Amino acid sequence: MPKIVDRVERRAAIAAAAAEAIADEGIEAVTMKGIATRAGVTTGAVTHYFNDKDEVILAALLFVDTAMRARLDVALERGQSLVDALVAALPNDPASRRDWRVWRVFTDAASRSELLMSHYRAANTAWLTTATHVLADQLERRPDERDVQLVVAVVDAIGDMASADPTSWPLERQRQLIHHCVERLKVVDDSVPAPSSEHSHDRAS
């Protein structure tokens, strides 16, 4: 009896292999044959699940984005602090460093592809939404949108630098910077109301 292959699992395995290839070789050097070799399947098997190289690359980019956010979610489900949860999403082991290297490629490639840009924006929106909920829970108040953007920007910057130069960005340095960022948000005085539109109009007149 022929073995039943789970389509979702096989696509995920090929996407993971493509992510490894992108991290090691870059998008331009990646080939369907090379991806197949890494996945332990034939080139025909890759083209059976994906129409072309662009589709495999997109699957790889979405694969690493999902993996990065999953690390954050797991840390939060385990009751870890906001700092520890954000650090869990950063590049601090071989798998997460691979994912962040691919994410850096994603960021660059998105500027040249409308399709990738649409997925890149969707991924960033998902990160901002998650960060909004997490900060609201931790700070016990609805965070300012700028605070959310700041946290996501800091995480993104650390991930970019730590994946490129892990020696200069060990886990403890990543944690210290995330901690500093979060602590600054905690001391923001949101008890002072923003100027009303009426006052703004008075000043303008």
Tally of domains in the chain: 1
How far apart are alpha carbons 87 and 81 in whole angstroms? 10
What pTM did the predictor assign? Answer: 0.79
Going from the first residue of the chain to its last (205 residues), give the mean pLDDT of each consecutive group of 10, the final group possibly shorter.
70 94 91 94 94 91 92 91 92 93 89 90 91 84 88 94 94 95 70 44 45
**Would residue 158 count as lying in a domain?**
yes
What's the farthest any 2 CA atoms get from each other in the chain? Answer: 83
**Would residue 195 count as lying in a domain?**
no
**Would residue 74 count as lying in a domain?**
yes
Which pLDDT score is estimated for 82?
87
Which pLDDT score is estimated for 4?
54
CB atoms within 10 A of CB 24: 14
**Would residue 193 count as lying in a domain?**
no
**Would residue 126 count as lying in a domain?**
yes
Which pLDDT score is estimated for 199?
46
**Would residue 47 count as lying in a domain?**
yes
How far apart are alpha carbons 181 and 164 in whole angstroms? 21
Which pLDDT score is estimated for 189?
42
Q: Which domain holds residue 153?
A: 7-188
How far apart are alpha carbons 28 and 30 in whole angstroms? 6
